[in-house]
Amino acid sequence: MADEQEHEAASRADGPPLVEAWELTKVFRDFWRRPQVRAVNGLTFTVSRGEIFGLLGPNGSGKSTTLKMVLGLLHPTRGRLRVLGASPREVRTKARIGYLPEESYLYPYLTPVETLDFFGRLFDLTARERRRRIEELLEMIGLAHARRRPVGEFSKGMARRVGLAQALLNDPDLVILDEPTSGLDPIGCRQMKDLILTLARRGKTVLLSSHLLADVEDICDRVAILYNGRLRASGAIETLLEERDRCSLTLPAVEEARLRPVIEAARAAAGAEPEITRPRMGLERFFLRVVEEARRVEEPAAGAEAGRAVADYLASPAEAQREDGTTPEGVADRAEVDRRLERLVGGGRPEDRDGS
Ligand SMILES: Nc1ncnc2c1ncn2[C@@H]1O[C@H](COP(=O)(O)OP(=O)(O)O)[C@@H](O)[C@H]1O
Ligand SMILES: [Mg+2]
């Protein structure tokens, strides 16, 4: 509970929003530049410093397109967007963002250390700083034991966590995660969610997308629900889900006879028949408890370990309040990193060829 309170405190941090979107619209055009798909339609939202904000919606509702606009990878057809107080296309802005794409393309023959080192070089980190950050990140994502295995052999969950480490190499202030838990098993999901919560406690602002309701409910402070590119509902999870016409009173389990006077009193006070139920723990907690029990008696399964606290180098809340827009030492801007990647991989990203 203390963690939750801490997190709430972080999410109340004031200051200007890190992301402000007004009437954001994206129309994809076909080869002849005829409007084809209105992927995002008049979307207005803000993401405050230190909060975990979730874009929730079914497949094709415009989540990834929205994230790519915030990243400056796609240009909005209409509307306005400010990210970290500037245009998302600005080089200084890009240097302060970390991004986990929907699909991370990792070179299968490289180990996690080599993969992260490759990206560390793109960010112009010194060899010493790369070593330090990579060690801390591997500990954090629970893959220190698999450091010498090629990532091609990794499970989806392990690969996803290498993707997360990659997104954090430049010590970003704003972390954008596209479907961070997709394809993960319940344990991988829980670990990813815990990592995201830890990042938020460290003062990072997280903007994520998901079509998995339970994940969003568990970790997000506020959500925006998209359908067909339009905003259908938004607000703090607590407020959206609270049933304001009912309240509940939870007691330790006692014999029903002893409860009778309480029920009588409740009936008299509420003027209605009270409903008696037993609280449920939720399937995720139950499942994790069963697995934990099994683990205690068996060999640990291969794959990612639980992972430890957040990497030390990731800015503390105080450092994350950086207002002057300076980039962390030795970090090349993301636009330059993108250019270097393009030269290495060849060609642009498919989403850049939408004719915007
Ligand atoms: N590069 C593109 N060119 C044309 N249409 C696209 C492109 N990217 C996405 N779309 C369309 O935009 C809509 C929203 O897609 P997307 O943002 O990926 O949704 P989500 O991430 O919510 O699943 C979909 O109809 C999709 O087919
Ligand atoms: Mg998507």
User: What residues sit around ligand 2, an ion, with C-beta below 5 angstroms?
Assistant: 63-64
Of 11-15, 132-136, 277-281, 283-287, highest mean pLDDT: 132-136
The reported pLDDT for the residue numbered 315 is 59
Q: Which of 28, 75, 103, 351, when mutated, tests ligand 1's pocket best, judged by the most ligand atoms within 8 Å of its CB?
A: 28
Residue 254 has a pLDDT of 85
Asked whether the beta carbons of 112 and 140 are under 8 A apart, the reply is no
Q: Within its chain, how far is the Cα of 48 from the centroid?
A: 14
Question: What is the distance between the alpha carbons of residues 212 and 58, in angstroms, rounded to a whole number?
Answer: 9
- Kindly state if the Cβ of 62 falls inside 6 Å of ligand 1: yes
The minimum-distance atom of ligand 1 relative to the CA of 58 is 22
In the predicted model, is pLDDT for residue 338 greater than 60?
no
pLDDT at 20: 97
Question: Is 143:161 a contact under the CB 8 Å cutoff?
Answer: yes
Q: Is the CB of 59 under 6 A from ligand 1?
A: yes
How confident is the model at residue 299, as a pLDDT?
64
How many angstroms separate the alpha carbon of residue 148 from the centre of ligand 2? 31
Q: What is the pLDDT of residue 73?
A: 93
Q: Which residue has the higher pLDDT, 174 or 298?
A: 174
In this structure, which residue's CA is closest to atom 11 in ligand 1?
39
- pLDDT at residue number 321: 42
Is the confidence at residue 308, as pLDDT, over 80? no
What is the tens place of the pLDDT at every residue in 10-53?
444 567 899 999 999 999 988 887 778 999 999 999 999 999 99
Question: Mind listing the domains of the chain with CATH numbers?
Answer: 2-247+299-344 (3.40.50.300)
* Residue 347 in this model has a pLDDT that exceeds 50: no
| Of 128-132, 204-208, 235-239, the least confident | 235-239
Query: What proportion of the chain, given as a percentage, has pLDDT over 90?
Result: 48
Q: Tell me how long the chain is.
A: 356
Instruction: Provide the mean pLDDT of the chain.
Output: 83
Note the pLDDT of residue 336: 57
What is the Cα–Cα distance from 166 to 97, expressed in whole angstroms?
12
Strands 174-178 and 97-100: parallel
Token couple for 120: 């560390």
Measure 66 CA to ligand 1 centroid, in angstroms: 10
Q: State how far the Cα of 11 lies from the Cα of 277, in Å rounded to an integer.
A: 33
Task: Decide if pLDDT at 323 tops 70.
Answer: no
> Which position has the higher pLDDT, 244 or 116?
116
CA atoms within 13 A on the CB side of 21: 29
Both tokens assigned to 35? 């409007």
**pTM > 0.85:** no
CA-to-CA dists, residue 318 to 13, 132, 291, angstroms: 11, 21, 37
Chain segment 224-266, per-residue pLDDT in tens: 999 999 999 999 988 888 888 888 888 888 888 888 999 999 9
Helix (H, G, I), strand (E, B) or coil at 47: strand
Element (H, E) at 256: helix 256-270
Task: Show the CA angle centred on residue 182, arms to residues 121 and 139, nearest 5°.
Answer: 45
d(CA 81, CA 207): 14
pLDDT digit string (tens) for 182-191?
888 888 888 8
pLDDT, one tens digit per residue, over 60-82 is 999 999 999 999 999 999 999 99
In ligand 1, which atom is closest to the CA atom of 179? 21
Q: What local confidence, expressed as pLDDT, does residue 320 receive? A: 42
* Atom from ligand 1 closest to the CA of residue 57: 22
- Cα–ligand 1 centroid distance for 333 (angstroms): 27
215 in ligand 1 pocket by Cβ < 6 Å? no
Name the residue with the closest Cα to ligand 1, atom 12: 39
Residue 113 pLDDT:
96
**Separation of 180 CA from ligand 1 center, angstroms?**
18
Q: What is the pLDDT of residue 255?
A: 86
Burial 328-348 (b: 16+ CB within 10 A, else e): beebbbbbbbbeeeeeeeeee
Ligand 1 atom at minimum distance from 59 CA: 23
> How far apart (Å, rounded) are the C-alpha atoms in residues 234 and 56?
10
Q: From the CB of 26, is ligand 1 less than 6 Å away? A: no
Residue 326 has pLDDT above 70, yes or no: no
Going by pLDDT thresholds of 50, 70 and 90, the confidence category of residue 349 is very low
Instruction: Give 238 Cα–ligand 1 centroid separation in angstroms.
Output: 30
Neighbouring CB atoms inside 10 A of 289's CB total 11
| Start-end of H helices in 63-212 | 63-70, 91-94, 112-122, 127-141, 156-168, 186-201
Compute the distance from residue 60 Cα to the ligand 2 centre, in Å: 7
- C-alpha 178 to ligand 2 mean position (Å): 7
